[in-house]
Every structure is written in C-alpha cells, then in structure tokens.
C-alpha cells in the first residue's frame, strides 16, 4: 500500500510539474480600414455643346451641354474646364470663332481652369448631371465646320 501511495504522489508531482511548466504565448494584431473619397467624371451620358447651324454674322448664339459626375456623399470637388476658347475651322485652323463657357444659365460666371472660375460642388453619393452653358458672341466668319475640344478635370 505504501508503494501505491508513493507512486501516486510521484505521479501527482510529475503531472503538476508538467502543467506548471507549460508556457503560454500571445500575440496581438490590428484590425483596421482606410476610408477614401472617390469621384468619377464622365459617367453615364455626357452631351456636347452644339451651337447648331447658324448664318454668318450670327450673334449671341447660346447652347448647353452636360457632363455627369459621381462623388461619394459629402466629398467636396472642383471641376475645371480647359479649352482654347475658340472654335477652329476644319480646313484652316487660323479661322476661329471665340466662345465662352459658363457655370450658370444667366451666363454671369465664366467656367475655366483657374482657381476662381472652377465649379465647386459637393458629392451626393448619386450621379449628378452638371450643365455647361456656352455662348458665341459673334460668328462673323466664312462658312464651314468649326469645333474645339474641351477637357474637364475633377479635383477632390
């Protein structure tokens, strides 16, 4: 019986020793996310500004066009329009018709690519249709096709 008691005691000490000798290690990790704002210009349908067919010496010819902008809700943005400001004759680019682009229907606020004449808005999380108003003050030029290319740039 004594042998059994000692064997059990030795077994208990070995078991406790093995348990107390086991190491525990831990590690930490982060849970993170970065939230960004996005904007996309030209999504959906964008329409050209087409002054149509006019007679020579036509004055104050007006037309509108549009572009679509998508920005995440609450994202402030600016749109700059960069153009030559002149429609060029298809056969002779030295023949030009000056025009202006505007941010408003009253054509009181020019739209361009410097800080004080860019369009400033805020994203809604929905596609926004932005109207561009254009005016040709005077078309006293030879008959023909005239065009220009405008680059719209969004900064957010």
**CATH number for position 135:** 2.60.40.1090
Distance of CA 149 to CAs 11, 12, 51, 56, 145, Å?
A: 91, 90, 14, 22, 14
Residue 96: inside a domain, yes or no? yes
CB-neighbour burial class of residue 23 (10 A; exposed 0-12, middle 13-18, buried 19+): exposed
Who contacts 63 (Cβ-Cβ below 8 Å, separation ≥6)?
A: 49, 50, 51, 52, 133, 134
Residue 14: inside a domain, yes or no? no
Q: Cα separation of 128 and 124, whole Å?
A: 8
Q: Which structural domain, as residue segments, surrounds residue 115?
A: 39-155
Per the structure, how many domains does the chain have?
Answer: 1
Task: Provide the whole-model pTM.
Answer: 0.78
The pLDDT score that the predictor gives to residue 15 is 54
The pLDDT score that the predictor gives to residue 42 is 85
Residue 10: inside a domain, yes or no? no
Q: In which residue ranges of the chain is pLDDT below 50?
A: 1, 3-4, 9, 11
Residue 24: inside a domain, yes or no? no
User: Around 118, how many Cα atoms within 13 Å sit in the side-chain half-sphere?
Assistant: 17
Residue 23: inside a domain, yes or no? no
The pLDDT score that the predictor gives to residue 4 is 47
Residue 21: inside a domain, yes or no? no
The pLDDT score that the predictor gives to residue 45 is 75
The pLDDT score that the predictor gives to residue 90 is 96
Q: Cα separation of 101 and 107, whole Å?
A: 8
**What residues pair up with 119 in beta bridges, in sequence order?**
79
């Amino acid at each position: 019986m004594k042998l059994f008691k000692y064997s059990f005691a030795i077994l208990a000490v070995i078991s406790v020793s093995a348990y107390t000798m086991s190491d525990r290690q831990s590690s930490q990790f982060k849970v993170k996310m970065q939230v960004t704002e996005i904007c996309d210009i030209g999504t959906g349908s964008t329409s050209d500004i087409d002054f149509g067919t006019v007679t020579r010496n036509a004055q104050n010819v007006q037309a509108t066009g549009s572009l679509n902008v998508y920005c995440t809700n609450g994202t402030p943005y600016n749109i700059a329009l960069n153009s030559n400001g002149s429609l060029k004759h298809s056969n002779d680019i030295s023949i030009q018709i000056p025009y202006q682009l505007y941010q408003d229907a009253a054509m009181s606020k020019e739209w361009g690519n410097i800080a004080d004449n860019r369009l400033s808005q805020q994203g809604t999380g929905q596609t926004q249709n932005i109207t561009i108003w254009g005016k040709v003050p005077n078309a006293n030029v030879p008959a023909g096709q005239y065009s220009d290319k405008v680059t719209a740039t969004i900064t957010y």
